[in-house]
Amino acid sequence: MTEIEIEQEKKEILRQYRKLLRHAKPFLQGDDAKLIKRAFNMSQEAHKNMRRRSGEPYIFHPLAVAQICVEEIGLGTTSIIAALLHDVVEDTEMEIEDIERPFGKKIARIIDGLTKISGVFDYGTSQQAENFRKMLLTLSDDVRVILVKLADRLHNMRTLDSMPKNKQLKVSSETIYLYAPLAHRLGLYAIKSELEDLFLKYREPEKYIEIVRKINATKAPRDRFVRNFISPIQKELNKHNFKFNIKGRPKSIYSIWNKMTKQEIPFEKVYDLFAIRIILDLPPELEKAGCWQVYSIVTDYYQPNPDRLRDWISTPKSNGYESLHTTVMSKTGTWVEVQIRNKRMDEIAEKGYAAHWKYKENENSSESGLEAWIGRVREILERENASAIEFVDDFKHSLFNEEIFVFTPKGELKKLPGDATALDFAFEIHSEVGAKCIGAKVNQKLVPINYKLKTGDQVEILTSNKQRPNEGWLSFVITSKALTRIKDELKEQKKSAALDGKEIVLRKLKQAKLEMNSEIMDKLLGYFNLKSALDFYYLVGKGKIDPKEIKKIKNFEDKPRKQASQNVSDIESFQRKIKTATGEKRDQLLIGEDMDIVPYSLAPCCNPIPGDAVFGFVATHEGLKIHRINCPNATELLSRHGNRVVKAKWTSQTEVSFLTGLKIKGTDRVGMMNDVTRIISNELKVNMRSISIESDNGIFDGSIQLYVNDTKHLATLTKKLENIEGVEEVARFDVS
């Protein structure tokens, strides 16, 4: 680099540092500014020879994270220092003790929570899950560790362009799986929406660009519509001397894509593309009445949809969110969501947890929804015998989006996630009540334990001392508390049955004049095709393995069980294996950093075809599996086991056929079926595996399974089918 470029970098670092201090100035006290300066100098010195993948000095990252903490989350001095130093222990020679001496235990503990676990992990475990659990352990003491981590993740997502594709997939999948729901749970709606949009940018880049282009193209008519819509409301609010601000807020790119995908509709048919937000400026004692008065004004001009009224002012969400939502019909026949809230509510909605604490002194409640949720996280953390992956699964369940409000027989209000069952409610009351639950009375009517509750239900739980949890319960409970308690009880039951089974096994071996040792156990596991001694003893104890069979191992020669990737615990070792691997030319897929040709199999969950954006995943016993990037299982695989993801890319194709499916919808007419099959079989010479078309009142709906060469071949076929008279929609689906 030239001296001029180095000088420019120094000026930019200084500019960003001064910007950080400007935003922090309103709440700085005593020696805060000196402490921030010391943290900045320490971070700059520690990272002085480091650069990010983009080529810029590494110090830009901690500065940006600190700026997000202050400007976008509303955090103070402690979080700024933690943000500036969050990577020094992980990336440099510095130790936690070096931070504790000048800055104290509190900041050192936050940074320790943000520092990834180092070392080698056993195969079958997940380093990502272990790191996430470590971070959450700190959450129960200080929520700022999560807020700084979210700021760190947001900046990493904003600068993900410079990373390789497989790294983009891993980071964005982790983000949508855990960090975006966590931002939502902590009330950080602006950050949650941006994380979701950035996930889509890297997961479905073409869809993302298409939606952005269409949003921009419709901006002028949308702005005109908003002006016309709010004009009479503004006049009426002014007449009543309200201080207010009205915004027209477009839906996030991710939520538009989500609606298009779930409802299988094009962009043009997503009608609620934006919401109107009315923000009042009222003293706390008048805000509730004021919001309802504004609701009355809005519904005087526009007809409301009675099923779409959401009152989160009387009963706020667990993350502190308060607002009044209604959906009304505009004069042009379009549904419009209107959100009504006070300035305080808006700040909590945008900045979540940090703003919630700012206003907490004005609240009368002894425990907020957020504090109650953190209490539930502590319960999950107390499960010492749970694996990290189990922990992450249970934690994920606690990040529910929608809530229902139900009542105990005495009228006490309980908040539960949407789709919660009577059994979830029982565990919410008490673990013992849940474990003994045999049914419930909902609004005085007897219902089974898997009955899904609705807002307003009054629930009474029925119990029996003879009842015990079973495996089937896990299929319909959704709260982390219920899942945790059931799993713990099942483990205890399994251990008890295994002890009984072990006694039976030892007795049978003695009769066969055999002594239990590792060699005998390997033979037993090989004979019964099981993975662990605990599983074997359990099945014997439950009577699912006939004890008489045990004697047969005397004559059993244990053949080595096939474990295609037994010794592959990370990508580095997999890349080394690639060097010696061979494969046939027809595989036509390049794998790994060096783009070698190696054996693989196509994942049946998404059936990728040549031309699809794909990634390789090293499966435990099945070698390399190829998945589509938008595979339904991709997010979970990438977020849990990103260290087992391999680059994969199709090369130019020969004529090899791959099975895929097409859904086709439209208006029925005579000859429709003939036209569809003519295009497929005669014009494009495509072989069909099956075709099924049903017609009902002039509308037909069909599915076709067929063999194509690649995505271009499929696109040509789709376009030709769409051009058939009466065909409204053609969409790909995964063949299982």
pLDDT in tens, 302-346: 999 888 898 999 888 877 788 999 999 988 888 889 999 999 888
State how far the Cα of 46 lies from the Cα of 39, in Å rounded to an integer: 10
State how far the Cα of 251 lies from the Cα of 32, in Å rounded to an integer: 39
* pLDDT tens per residue, range 52-90: 888 889 999 999 999 999 998 888 899 999 999 999 988
Q: What is the DSSP letter of 110?
A: H
State how far the Cα of 708 lies from the Cα of 655, in Å rounded to an integer: 9
The residues facing 311 across adjacent strands are 324
pTM: 0.67
Q: How much is the pLDDT for 139? A: 63
Task: Label each residue of 31-95 as H, E or C.
Answer: CHHHHHHHHHHHHHHHCCCCECCCCCECCHHHHHHHHHHHHHHCCCHHHHHHHHCCCHHHHCCCC
| Mean pLDDT for the stretch of residues 262-285 | 85
683-704 burial, b at 16+ Cβ within 10 Å, e below that, comes to eeebeeeebebeeeeeebebeb
- Find which of 173-177, 401-405, 429-433 is predicted with most confidence, using mean pLDDT: 429-433
Helix (H, G, I), strand (E, B), or coil: what is residue 480? helix
The residues facing 665 across adjacent strands are 701, 729
- Residue of 91, 98, 379, 488 with catalytic role: 91
- Residue of 90, 419, 558, 694 with catalytic role: 90
CA-based R_g, the chain, Å = 30
Q: Where are the alpha helices (DSSP H) in 655-707?
A: 672-677
Is the Cβ–Cβ distance between 685 and 720 less than 8 Å? no
Is the Cβ–Cβ distance between 505 and 516 less than 8 Å? yes
The residues facing 274 across adjacent strands are 250
Query: Does 489 qualify as catalytic in the annotation?
Result: no
State how far the Cα of 313 lies from the Cα of 316, in Å rounded to an integer: 5
Q: With cut-offs at 50, 70 and 90, classify the pLDDT of residue 277.
A: very high
Query: Does 91 qualify as catalytic in the annotation?
Result: yes
Q: With cut-offs at 50, 70 and 90, classify the pLDDT of residue 376.
A: low
Domains of the chain in start order, with CATH, are 3-162 (1.10.3210.10), 211-362 (3.30.460.10), 571-650 (no CATH), 658-733 (3.30.70.260)
Q: Is 460's pLDDT higher than 80?
A: yes
> Going by C-beta distance under 8 Å and a sequence separation of 6 or more, which residues neighbour residue 476?
421, 423, 450
Helix (H, G, I), strand (E, B), or coil: what is residue 736? coil
> Torsion-angle region of residue 207: left (phi > 0), alpha (psi -120 to 50) or beta?
alpha
State how far the Cα of 172 lies from the Cα of 203, in Å rounded to an integer: 7
Which contacts qualify for 330-336: CB closer than 8 Å, 24 or more apart? 330/225, 330/229, 330/302, 331/228, 331/302, 332/225, 334/225, 334/271, 335/271, 335/272, 335/305, 336/229, 336/272, 336/274, 336/275, 336/276, 336/302
> Torsion-angle region of residue 279: left (phi > 0), alpha (psi -120 to 50) or beta?
beta
**Tally of CB atoms within 10 A around 56:** 15
Task: Let me know the angle formed at the C-alpha of 579 by 581 and 627, rounded to the nearest 5 degrees.
Answer: 65
Q: How much is the pLDDT for 579? A: 42
81 vs 373, higher pLDDT: 81
